[in-house]
Chain A
């Protein structure tokens, strides 16, 4: 296959669509997580002050959850892309002459 055929192949289109499907889904989760956090602070600060256990409160715990969640999503995406996505990329590249 030449470059044009590769780019128009089903396999290429499928992997690009999958790549954007995964990253946009994760981006939406990130948005819900982060803007949910920020907007709760703006609209319902009393809820953020609610105690969890003796010393922690919702605000501190949810901030930690956003940081850990953002980190986790990055790591998950990268490990998917570096194994699954790159495997298909390698196969497609081998087909190019």
Chain B
């Protein structure tokens, strides 16, 4: 078994460009047809609630299986071994929690965004502002991480200048979102999920074929080449509290990601919403089970030194493995799939940001709900353009910066600002407006400040010797702060109206009576 000697990675690859052009062309044709069906707000934000559970399951998994999890996790496994697998496990366990705690009430109570649910029985103005700022921050940090990562990946794979990659991603995804709204974004996501699942399955089969279809043989090769520590926990998880805190952020962060929560409004009812979680968990679970085969396979077949030679972070492990096993055509296909993945994820994020800016803030706070359908759709499109331009601008601004911590920050804020108020508004009768607003502010601020003081930023980015806050992810502290603030402030500021409405909304929460 020889490692890869020469790679065509980073050179303009005719097959990659051809596949990529096909994907873009196909998705733009879909956008063209979707645009004809996208006239009302319900069509723009929620695809007219016409998506089936199975389709939404694919789209949800598409939103979640970003280029970072495909290229990033297979790369960490290839270079560092077992530690990458801990991430894979952590990213899956949020899905059952999402199902058990919030999926049904979220679908039944909301209209377009999770903010609708939090604002349902509370004083609408302040709570919408607070919740949508929490949502926007999560989407913004997540988007910066995606844009910077994608610019680098496209540069590595296609040899295209960074700025040009940013602009192409920005323009194409704006076309989807602007004209085709949620319907086009969903179908782009479905196509990308299918391509990604197909690509990774083929890559896994080709890898296993080198080892007589015996995963145990890959592991034994890994051990004999690099030693046993590749197969055992390394430096990622050290202290118990550190591990618990990171686990909390990974698990409950999902329950506060606006672009994921928004997908629940594209299906007609709670039954389809449940089916979509079931399918999403199936696809994502499968994805994270085969990713280690790709990662360890790359370590053995491509060799760690070659992978690290192309990119220190290991992001090119999967593309290099596909070139070794399937030649330039397969590399081209995988590169195109990775690019499509970036496009689809950024499109989903942009639509989530546009809904917060337009539906939550402009229509419901500034116009107090008094806007015609045409005005609402127009403001949604303007918000889409604004956020799209900001995303490209920030992507270029942050070029070359270490932004890996932004994903951790996005998950920490999602778990500490968005999730507690969402859960309490569904479950707790005495939850009040002040309680919700202060909980969002306290959770979001604590998460942000502690991340800056943590080893992830204070040591890795600012270069100080010792961090002021010891944990890598602050979720255990910031989530507690958010819940305690919510409970204390709600008890101090009783709100009669919110309590009466809690009883009234039960029929909607559990039976779906009156759900939009």
Contact = CB atoms under 8 A, between A and B. Distances in A.
Interface of A: 3-4, 6-7, 12, 15-16, 19, 23-24, 26-27, 30, 34-35, 37-39, 41-43, 45, 48-49, 53-57, 59-60, 63-64, 66-68, 70-71, 73-75, 77-79, 81-82, 86, 89, 92-93, 96
A78 B372 CA distance: 38
A30 B250 CA distance: 14
Contacts of B246: 38
Interface stretch (B99-107, B133-141, B150-158): B99-107
Given A43-B240, A74-B95, A48 B289 contact: no
B199 interface: no
B243 A78 contact: no
Given A55-B219, A60-B219, A86 B271 contact: yes
Contacts of B512: 89, 93
Nearest to A23: B100
A17 to B, nearest CB: 11
B216 A56 contact: yes
Contacts, number: 153
Interface in B292-344: 292
B239 A81 contact: no
A89 B281 CA distance: 25
A7 B289 contact: no
The secondary structure that dominates the B interface is helix
Contacts of B494: none
Interface of B: 82, 85-86, 88-90, 92-93, 95-97, 99-101, 104, 216-217, 219-220, 223, 228, 231-233, 237-240, 242-244, 246-247, 251, 271, 274-275, 277-278, 281-282, 285, 288-289, 292, 503-504, 506-507, 510-513
Contacts of A74: 95-96, 99, 277-278, 281
B215 to A, nearest CB: 8
25 contacts: A7-B503, A15-B510, A19-B510, A24-B100, A30-B93, A34-B90, A34-B251, A37-B89, A39-B243, A41-B86, A42-B240, A42-B243, A45-B232, A49-B233, A54-B216, A56-B219, A57-B231, A60-B231, A60-B292, A66-B92, A70-B92, A77-B96, A81-B274, A96-B507, A96-B513
B242 A42 contact: yes
B257 to A, nearest CB: 17
A8 B267 CA distance: 29
Nearest to A66: B89
Given A30-B96, A38-B86, 4 more contacts: A56-B219, A63-B85, A82-B274, A96-B507
List the 9 shortest-distance A-B pairs measured between CB atoms, nearest first. Answer: A55-B216, A23-B100, A42-B243, A49-B232, A71-B285, A78-B278, A74-B281, A42-B240, A55-B219
A48 B83 CA distance: 12
B17 to A, nearest CB: 36
B149 to A, nearest CB: 24
A51 to B, nearest CB: 9
B288 A67 contact: yes
Nearest to A27: B100
Contact of A75 (B86, B101, B220, B281): B281
A53 B220 CA distance: 11
A71 B274 contact: no
Contacts of B504: 3-4, 7
Contact of A93 (B237, B242, B277, B513): B513
A3 B93 CA distance: 36
A7 B511 CA distance: 10
B92 to A, nearest CB: 5
Residue from B96, B100, B219, B292 having most chain A Cβ neighbours under 10 A? B96
Contacts of B220: 54-55
Contacts of A42: 237-240, 242-244
Contact of A6 (B92, B239, B507): B507
B98 to A, nearest CB: 9
A67 B289 contact: yes
A35 B247 contact: yes
Nearest to A15: B510
A73 B100 CA distance: 10
A9 B125 CA distance: 34
A49 B232 CA distance: 5
